[in-house]
Amino acid sequence: MSAVSVALAKAFAQLADRAVIAVAVKSIAITLALFAGLGVGLYFAFAALAERLGQSGGWGAVFAVLLVPVAMWLLFRAVAIAVLQFFADDIVAAVEARHYPALAGRAKALPFHRDLGVSLRGLARALGYNLLVLPVAAVLAFTAIGPALVFLAVNAALLGRELTDMAWLRHCQDDRQGNPAPRGEQFLMGAAIVGMMLVPIAGLIAPVIGAAAGTHLVLRRIEQGGEAQ
């Protein structure tokens, strides 16, 4: 089995751990709450706009119901990963304790301001790169599958980096460029998680699975003393 397959299998096997369950519940609840808040905000904004235009305020509810699912489809990955960043310490510690006892306790929690900075940079990067490739996807629209492949490739690369950085930053503290997980492994793992996020229900736990799998890819290299490829 490849390193990515092993990492994903171990991540799924650890879903029953209390610490992992707690992170999944908290991150899912906060992510959904953010989108619920977006829905409420859209409702009041559109209701106020409709009333100013002399229309029924009920149009606010209609637009909110229509737009929130679209927003979730477009932004769920970026928002879920940004939220998960604040709970990554628990994922890394759980994987260390169960699979890498020699490394247990070496990871250091990031201070809140750094967690926030990493989270916001990741969110901005996700939105920026997806907007950047939008024209490319539009050009390939006639191929039907072209746009999907473009967005899959971009998000796989972004997710692979972010999910492995969650573990690496807690071991190196400063050296973001030294992430020892090979780029190929990062990409394949990111692609698997992007695929999971397209599946109802499974998409909710995909970020947690990805964080655990990314931790395996990083800690395996640290344990072996390997370098990034």
- Measure the CA angle with vertex 179, ends 1 and 188; round to 5°: 35
- Could you give the number of structural domains in the chain? 1
Q: Which domain holds residue 71?
A: 3-224
- Residue 162 falls inside a structural domain: yes
Q: Of the candidates 180, 217, 186, which has an alpha carbon nearest to the alpha carbon of residue 3?
A: 217
Distance of alpha carbon 215 from alpha carbon 7, whole angstroms: 8
Top-confidence residue, 20 or 58 = 20
- Residue 229 falls inside a structural domain: no
Express as a percent the part of the chain with pLDDT over 90. 35
Q: Report CA Rg, the chain.
A: 19
Q: Is the pLDDT of residue 175 over 80?
A: no
- Residue 171 falls inside a structural domain: yes
Name the packing angle between helices 58-84 and 18-52 (round to 10°): 150
- Residue 128 falls inside a structural domain: yes
pLDDT in tens, 102-140: 887 777 888 888 888 888 888 888 888 888 888 888 888
Q: Report whether 219 contacts 96 (CB < 8 A).
A: yes
- Residue 109 falls inside a structural domain: yes
Structure tokens that stand for 61 in this block: 């509810």
Q: Which of 51-60, 114-123, 133-142, 197-206 has the lowest mean pLDDT?
A: 51-60
Distance of alpha carbon 220 from alpha carbon 111, whole angstroms: 25
